[in-house]
Amino acid sequence: MRERQTILVKDLAAQLGFSFCGIASATKLDADAERLERWLNKGMHGSMHYMERYFDLRIDPCKLVPGAKSVITLLLNYFPTEKQGNDAVKISKYAYGKDYHDVIRKKLNTLIELVKKNIGEIHGRGFVDSAPVLERTWAQRSGLGWVGKNGNLINKQMGSFFFIATLITDLDLEADEMFTKDYCGSCTRCIDACPTDAILPGKIVDGSRCISYFTIELKEMLIPGEMKGKFDNWMFGCDICQDVCPWNRFSKPTGEIEFTPIPEILNLSTKEWEMMTEEKFKEIFRNSPLSRSKFKGIQRNLKFISHANGNN
């Protein structure tokens, strides 16, 4: 019964377009709790105070779903089919198309309904950046890859350009073998390439120094002056540590039509971005991750990288 149900769940996930599906037993993450506490105590979360909340929920899936037996991890490839033009301000690849929260949430809800239809009444909750879930840990426990020195989950077949979704359920499924190897070896390309020195030895990422933090999470209108000239023209997010990772030579363009790049992201020059009105921004990017930074945040980022480039 467990084997048949496990196969069914993985088949349904593949039918919905997920690239990989792994399963782990729902257990408390004691070791991760210690690491997270040390990271928070060092202030590496910056102004992301939400990471301090619901600590107990992050480490115990049974507190999110009472009676949880299995944690299903799903990976969805977002590597784009097209690249930005040379004159375009840089935007992280995950934000080229439609907001992944909406895309994945719909798939997760469909998966839960299909499982209920084929197996019977179950309880489960799907998460995609919507709750305090340590998704990379669960992905590794589910056999889907290892956590690289840049803090990203790396899959041996296709690299790291994936969204991670988590489904916690009381359905008792067969767990996959945990991924225990680390194929980063002595490579330090991501550490060496990070312009703000956010990636530290020991697989520690100082979130408060990451370009993605400054361009997305930071709500203050002033970016610290010490970061001037270090953004390498990144306006929203940053892919440097992934772009230099040797494992991403195996990345393949996504087949998810919802992630088709918005034309403006590929082609607008810095000047065209700077001339854009708030009304136009809302019209073009209403379903885009860029809306998370809002128009004011985007304008702040543009001014910062423009001044760093010597433009007034």
Residue 43 to residue 214: CA distance in whole angstroms: 15
Residue 240 to residue 257: CA distance in whole angstroms: 25
Q: Which of 241, 196, 243, 235 is nearest to 215 (CA)?
A: 235
Question: 129 an active-site residue?
Answer: yes
3-state secondary structure of 299: helix
Residue 235 to residue 253: CA distance in whole angstroms: 23
Per the CB < 8 A criterion, the answer to whether 293 and 236 are in contact is: yes
Residue 285 to residue 107: CA distance in whole angstroms: 22
Amino acid symbol at 182: D
DSSP state of 168: E
Catalytic residue among 32, 60, 129, 172: 129
For 60, residues 6+ apart whose C-beta sits below 8 A from its C-beta are 28, 29
Residues noted as catalytic? 129
